[in-house]
Structure 1
Amino acid sequence: MPSDSLFRYKPFEYKYQFDYIFAGAGAASLSLLIRMLQCEQFRDRTFLIVDRDRKSENDRTWCYWEKGEGFFDSLVFKKWDKTWFHGEGFSKQFNMAPYQYKMIRGIDFYTFCLNYLKKQANVTILFEPVARVYDTEHLARLVLHNGETYSATRYLFNSIPFVQPEADLKTQLFLQHFKGWVVETDQPFFDPGSNTLMDFRMDQQHGTTFVYTMPLDEKKALVEYTLFSKTLLPAEAYDEGLRNYIRDYLKLDDYRITEQEFGVIPMTNYQYPQGEGRLVNIGTAGGQTKASSGYTFQFIQKHSHSIIDSMLMYGHPRPESYHSGRYRFYDRVLLDVMSKGELSGAEIFTRLFRRNPIQRIFRFLDNDSWLPEELLLIGSLPTMPFLRAALGR
C-alpha cells in the first residue's frame, strides 16, 4: 500500500506511474512544474512531486537582480532601485536601473506553489525522503527510503544533489555559507530605498567575507554574514560576525532578532551530471549554481524557461546550458585565483565595482555579457594572477 504521507489533493485514482516526476520540491522543481502546469500542452499529463520536507518554514531568502517583471514577481517581498558597495578604501551607492534588486521569502514561495499544486487534479504531492533516482530503457524511476518505487513514463526531473563533488587537483570546491538575522528596532533606523549588496570591510581572516543588508522597512532589515571559503565556521562565529558588524558598521546597539536563517551553497568548477535518458538533473544538482558567486535563483528561472521551450520545440528537456563555454572558464579561473591566495575575494570584487558600472557587472554575473565588455572587466583586475590561472586552465 502507498505511504500514509501521500497527500492526494484531488479525486483521481492513485497510481505508482506518472508522466512526469519531480524529485525535490525546492526552487528548481517548483519553478519548472508551475510553468508546465500553466502550459496548454501539459494539462492532460500526470505529475508527482516528492520531498522529505513539508516546506512550512521560512528556511531561506532568495535575493537577485532582474530587469522588468519576472515570472514570480507577484511573490517579491521587497524591491530596491539603489545599492551600496563597500570595500577597503572604496564606498559607492549605485543606481541599478534598468535592474532592480528583489527579495522573495522562502515561505511565500513555498506557500504559493504548494497551494497552486493542491488545486490541480493531475498533481500528486508526496512528503517522503527519496533514496535514489535512476533511468532504465523505458522508464525513469524514483525510490523512497521505505522501498516504494514510482515510475516516470516521460521524464523525471531531479533537484536532489545525490552526487557531491570532492576537491582534488582539478576540482576547486568552495562553500558559500551564511547566517542571517532579521533585526528590528523600535525607532526608524534603516533606509528602505537602498540596500547593501556587499560590504567587505569585515575581517577577512576566515576567507572572503562580506555582509549584505536588505532593509525591509524603516525599522526592520535582513543582515546576512557571508563567507566564501573551503570550510565552515563554528556556529558561534557567525553570531559573533553579525553582532560585530551591526555594532561597528551599522552603529546599531538597540535591536531584537525576529528571524534567523542559515545556508550553505557549493561554489565549484565540478561539472554536475546532467542526467541521461529520461532522467534530467535541475537546480544545483544540474549545475545551475554559478560557480564563482553562488547565485542560483535566476539561473533556475532561465533554465526552467528553456526546458519548456525545448520540450515544445524539440520534444526533449535538454536546452543549452547557461554555464557553458567561456563563462564556465571565467568561473574556473576566478576560483583558481582565490584558491592560490594571490588575491582575496575582497580585493577582486572591490576592483570590479570601483572600475565598472554595476550594470556591466550584473550582465557578466548573469552570463549575459558580450565579449568587448568582458575584456573591460578582465582589464580592471590585476593581470598576472589571472593570466597564470588562465594558462593553467
Structure 2
Amino acid sequence: MTYADVVIVGAGAAGLSLAYRLCAPDGRVPLSVLLVDAPPGPLRPPPRTWCFWEEPDGEFDAALSASWQRLRVRAADGSPTVAVPSPLRYKMLRSDAFTALVESRLATAVGFGRVELTVRAVRDAAGGGGEVVGEDARGRRTVVRGRYVFDSRPPQQLPAARTTLLQHFTGWFVHTERPVFDPDTADLMDFRTPQPRHGLSFAYVLPLDARTALVEYTEFSRDALEPAAYERALDHHLGEVLGASPYRVSATEHGVIPMTDGRFPPRVGRSVFRIGTAGGATRPSTGYTFSAVQRQSRSLAAALRAGEPPRTPSPYRARSLAMDAVMLRALDAGRVDGAAFFTGLFRSVPPARLLRFLDGSAPLREELLVGLRTPVVPMLRTVAELPFRARRPAPDPPVSSIPLPLPNPHPSDEE
C-alpha cells in the first residue's frame, strides 16, 4: 500500500492543474502528492483543445497554440458582429502542450509520485483519510491511501436536474489549398447552420493561419448525433459556407459536455472530493470549464499548502448558476431563439463585460446590465416556472470525449 498527503485521480486538466499548484516550489507546508493515472488505452483522455479568455502574460502562455484579440459572431443571415474585448484575449491551449508544461514542473518536484492504475473505487478509508482501489498493469489489486483524495474523472451519472442539455461537437483541424481564414479573428459562433428543434447549433472556427484552422460543428440539444451527421455538417460548412474546398483533415476531436442545472457535490466523503466537471467546474450555460478548473485548483492548493482543510466552494456564484438555470430552461422550452439570443448579446453588450459574465466572474452590477439585454418576458416567465419544476433523474451519462477516426472527405493535391 502507498500513502501520500494528497492523492489525485486522473491526469486531465483538473488533475494536472491541482498537481501543478500543489508542487509549486514556495509552499509553506511540504506535501507529498501522488497522481493516479489510467494506463495507456481507452480510459485515458485523447488529445483535446481547451479555450478560455484572460489577460496577456498568463501562466500557460508559453504553451498556447494561438490567441486572438478579435472575436466574431455571425448571425443566421451571415451578418457579422466583431468584438475586441481588450484587455482580454481568447486563448487556445492543446492538452499535449499543457501536459508537457505541467510535467516539466512535476519532474523536479520533491514529494511527487505517479502510478498507473485501473481505478475501481474511490472512497473514505477506515480509520481516516481516503483510498483509491485499483489494479496495476499485471491485474494485481492495489490500494493507495492519502489524507485527502481528489477525483477528477468524468461523472458516471449526471445529477437530477430540471433541465439537462448536452453540448456535443466534432472538430476538424483542416488545411486548405488557398487562404480562407482570417488569422486575427476567432469565430466563436457562426449560426449559418441548420437549427435543431430544441436548442441551437453553430460552427466554431479558430484559425492558426490563413490556411489552417480548427473548425467545429456544435449543438446544444438533448441528444448527441451519429458520427456521420457531424461529418455532413462540417463538410457543408467548410465547402458551402466558407468556400474552403478542397481541404485536408489532419486531426479530429469529439466531445460531449453536460449543460445542466443539476448540483455537482464537490465533497463526497470525509476525505474524498471531486474536481473538474464532476466537481461543478463546467459552466452550465456555455460548457466552458478550463478557467473554473484553474480557480478551483488555486483555492484547493492554497488551503492545503497553508496546512488548512480543503475549501470546496463552487467555482461559480449562486446567482450565476440561477441565471444559467433560467437560460437553459428557456432554450430547451423554445421560448428563446438560441441563435438570436447569443447574437443579440454580442451586439448589445460591451465585449469584455460579456466575457466576464460568461465566465462567471462579473460583479453583480454587470450581471444585471447583461440580464437587461436578454428577452425579458420569456425570461421572467421561466423564472416564475422554475420553482415548480421537479428535478428529474438525468438520462444515460454522456462520454466526455471520444476520438473519432474520421476519413478525409476532401484530400488536397498535397496528399
Same fold flag (TM > 0.5):
yes
Aligned to 1:212: 204
Residue type at the aligned position of 1:76: L
Aligned to 2:130: 140
Task: Name which of 79, 97, 106 aligns with 2:67.
Answer: 79
Aligned to 1:349: 342
What are the superposed Cα offsets for residues 44-73 of structure 1, whole Å, 9 maximum, x if unpaired? 432211122549986210111112322222
CA distance in 2, matches of 1:226, 1:52: 28
Aligned to 2:261: 269
CA distance in 2, matches of 1:39, 1:316: 20
5+ residue gaps, structure 1: 1-14
Offset at residue 333 of structure 1 (A): 0.7
Residue type at the aligned position of 1:34: Y
Query: Aligned runs of 1:12-51 on 2, under 5 Å?
Result: 16-41=2-27, 44-51=30-37
TM-score for both structures, normalised by structure 2: 0.85
SS in 1 for 2:380: helix
Offset at residue 97 of structure 1 (A): 1.0
Q: How many residues align?
A: 376
SS in 2 for 1:182: strand
Offset at residue 115 of structure 1 (A): 4.5
Report if the CA contact (8 A) 2:217-2:234 is conserved.
yes
Q: Is 1:241 the counterpart of 2:227 in the alignment?
A: no
Query: Aligned runs of 1:333-348 on 2, under 5 Å?
Result: 333-348=326-341
Offset at residue 163 of structure 1 (A): 4.4
Task: Name which of 39, 53, 57 aligns with 1:65.
Answer: 53
What are the superposed Cα offsets for residues 180-222 of structure 1, whole Å, 9 maximum, x if unpaired? 1011023333221111111112110263101110111122111
What are the superposed Cα offsets for residues 274-316 of structure 1, whole Å, 9 maximum, x if unpaired? 1132212110110000011100001101111122233345702
Label 1:214 to 1:162 Cα distance change in 2 as closer, same or farther (>3 A): closer
Query: Aligned runs of 1:152-301 on 2, under 5 Å?
Result: 152=146, 154-165=147-158, 170-205=161-196, 207-275=199-267, 276-301=269-294
Aligned to 2:119: 130
CA distance in 2, matches of 1:390, 1:372: 19
The structure with higher relative contact order (CA 8 Å, sep 6+) is 2
Residue type at the aligned position of 1:209: S
CA distance in 2, matches of 1:134, 1:111: 30
SS in 2 for 1:40: coil
Residue type at the aligned position of 2:144: Y
Report if the CA contact (8 A) 1:84-1:198 is conserved.
yes
Query: Aligned runs of 1:87-126 on 2, under 5 Å?
Result: 87-89=75-77, 90-120=79-109, 122-126=111-115
Offset at residue 372 of structure 1 (A): 2.6
CA distance in 2, matches of 1:74, 1:123: 23
Report if the CA contact (8 A) 2:148-2:272 is conserved.
yes
CA distance in 2, matches of 1:307, 1:260: 33
Label 1:370 to 1:324 Cα distance change in 2 as closer, same or farther (>3 A): closer
Superposition RMSD on alpha carbons, in Å? 2.1
CA distance in 2, matches of 1:57, 1:139: 28
TM-score for both structures, normalised by structure 1: 0.90
CA distance in 2, matches of 1:58, 1:219: 25
CA distance in 1, matches of 2:204, 2:352: 18
Report if the CA contact (8 A) 1:88-1:350 is conserved.
no
SS in 2 for 1:244: helix
Aligned to 2:145: 151
